[in-house]
Structure 1
Amino acid sequence: MASGRSTRDARQAKVAEMRAQAAKAEARRRNLLISGIVAALAVVIVVGFVVVQNASRDDKSVSDATPANIGTDNSIVDGEDSAPVKVVVYEDFQCPYCAQFEAANREQLAQYVKDGDVQVQYRPIAFLDRASTDDYSTRSLNAVAAVVNSSPDAFLEFHNLLFENQPEEGGAGLTDDQLVDYAVQAGADEATVKTAVDDMTYEGWTADVTDAASQAGVSGTPTVKINDTALESLDAASLKTAVDKALAAAK
């Protein structure tokens, strides 16, 4: 019990540090332009919050369980390691701009993966708990971890369902039962996912990967990198141009 409180105290101290960093980032980064299908998306600035603990669970130790099937740098991978272009996507399931990025680029990325040209490395994080009334960013990422742990082949469909059914900011997120239902719809095992969702098995992991993203310089979502180069315009045409350029360089 004491160890759990010590872990929370350390993470809460980190929150204060990240808030200060986010305030500086907000002053610097205000002009993320997205055109085409995702016309003129605004920058998403982290509002000074690294997820550490659901307040309703303050009397419990935070689990440090790590899901299986997680790749390098906390990636959930779609595509072969041999693909010459690596597309890294930092996203938050509460972030509306992430949903728009996915809608604009999902089919194109899927085709690149199918052709063996691209490996997509999804690195979901939980920056936006304060944009919901029930810590939806953390709860949804915990559910994703449960799916990846037990049914990794169901991840991509679950990922897509979460964005297609994304709740509006400022209110309640999807309920735990809805998260489980979408996981099952995607092909995950119901009993296994439900246990992890009910127990918040991967809550500590969600805090860790969010902190790791902050330490890596990620201050907003979506953040997209192509072979380590950040993509500024996130519409489909810009993504295709950048990927094709990286493919040509690789060849």
Structure 2
Amino acid sequence: MAGRESIGDRAAKVAQLRSRQAKAEARRRTLLVSGIVVVLVAVIVGSFVLVQNTRRGEAVADTAAPANLGPSNSITQGDDDAPVKVVVYEDFQCPYCAEFEAANREQLTAYVDRGDVQVQYRPIAFLDRASTDQYSTRALNAAAAVFDRAPESFVDFHNLLFDNQPTEGGAGLSNEQLIDYAAEAGATEPEIASAVRDLTYEGWTARITEQASKEGISGTPTVQVNGTSLESLDAISLKTAVDEALTQDG
């Protein structure tokens, strides 16, 4: 009996030992699998972040930019030696910019024609959220394409975009409509149509919009006369500011 009990005890101990070893092995495998999963998740998340950051970096760092740009990526109209520089920050989706253009377009044209003013248009794309199809970016990309290939047509194209501005909250002008307005303005080069459809200057639009933000531009239109921002953007206020700047220069 004692011998049988001793053998039984030993058998029980062996069984317990095997059970503990099995549990330890199971825990080891669980920890190993968990560690692998954690590493894989970290790699996947890290790769996703890297790809997203790379894409954002490529969008901002894209070197494609229209030719003939003036100071601070501006699209200039008028002589470089004009005594008064009028800087205009606009967004083609901005209704207040359309109002500014309607009120001041003829007056600015007259100043430019006399050689008194150089207008430096600095269009930006703040208002993509105000359309369902990133119209601000697409319109600015189209304007860049026109200025690159047919700079003499830019002002007419610029004016057509504001005269036919889509309402906020819906779809903007289609790419084909943008191409048609470019042709109406006299810009018929096939490269313009390709640049509109391919968003050739999308990176440039992101870059100059970011630049404007860093310069403290928080809304459109923002208009500066010889470096001083105007508080009122009606025709009388603009004329007063320009005439005063001309008097100071004279």
Match of 1:215 in 2: 214
> What residue ranges of structure 1 are gaps of 5+ in the alignment?
12-51, 54-61
Match of 2:165 in 1: 166
Do the aligned partners of 2:150 and 2:187 also contact (CA within 8 Å) in 1?
yes
Distance across 2 between alignment mates of 1:76 and 1:82: 15
Counterparts in 2 of 1:96-175, with a 5 A limit?
96-175=95-174
Distance across 2 between alignment mates of 1:65 and 1:7: 17
Match of 2:235 in 1: 236
Counterparts in 2 of 1:41-80, with a 5 A limit?
63-80=62-79
Judge which range, 157-166 or 181-190, deviates more: 181-190
Q: C-alpha offsets along residues 42-81 of structure 1, whole Å, 9 cap, x if unaligned? A: xxxxxxxxxx69xxxxxxxx85311111111011000001
Relative to structure 1, the CA distance from residue 84 to residue 7 in structure 2 (aligned partners, 3 Å threshold; closer, same or farther) is farther
SS in 2 for 1:89: strand
Choose which of 53, 58, 64 in structure 2 pairs with 1:6.
53
Aligned length: 202
Match of 1:57 in 2: none
Distance across 1 between alignment mates of 2:54 and 2:92: 25
Which is richer in helix? 2
Judge which range, 144-153 or 190-199, deviates more: 190-199
Distance across 2 between alignment mates of 1:215 and 1:128: 17
> What residue ranges of structure 2 are gaps of 5+ in the alignment?
1-47
- Counterpart amino acid of residue 237 in structure 1: I
Task: Point out 4+ residue stretches in structure 1 off by more than 2 angstroms.
Answer: 2-11
Relative to structure 1, the CA distance from residue 113 to residue 4 in structure 2 (aligned partners, 3 Å threshold; closer, same or farther) is farther
Distance across 1 between alignment mates of 2:147 and 2:207: 16
| Length-normalised TM-score, structure 1 | 0.77
Distance across 2 between alignment mates of 1:194 and 1:65: 16
Do the aligned partners of 2:128 and 2:135 also contact (CA within 8 Å) in 1?
yes
- Percentage of matched positions with identical amino acids: 65
Do the aligned partners of 1:183 and 1:190 also contact (CA within 8 Å) in 2?
no
Distance across 1 between alignment mates of 2:228 and 2:62: 34
Q: C-alpha offsets along residues 207-244 of structure 1, whole Å, 9 cap, x if unaligned? A: 00000000111000000000000000000000000000
- Counterpart amino acid of residue 226 in structure 1: V
| Length-normalised TM-score, structure 2 | 0.77
Which of the two has higher C-alpha Rg? 2
Distance across 2 between alignment mates of 1:188 and 1:140: 15
Match of 2:21 in 1: none
Query: CA offset at residue 82 of structure 1?
Result: 1.1
Match of 2:197 in 1: 198
Do the aligned partners of 1:80 and 1:119 also contact (CA within 8 Å) in 2?
yes
Match of 1:182 in 2: 181
SS in 2 for 1:87: strand
Distance across 2 between alignment mates of 1:64 and 1:115: 35
SS in 1 for 2:122: strand
Distance across 1 between alignment mates of 2:205 and 2:91: 11
Query: CA offset at residue 4 of structure 1?
Result: 7.4
Relative to structure 1, the CA distance from residue 155 to residue 7 in structure 2 (aligned partners, 3 Å threshold; closer, same or farther) is farther
Do the aligned partners of 1:125 and 1:210 also contact (CA within 8 Å) in 2?
yes
Query: CA offset at residue 5 of structure 1?
Result: 4.4
Relative to structure 1, the CA distance from residue 132 to residue 224 in structure 2 (aligned partners, 3 Å threshold; closer, same or farther) is same
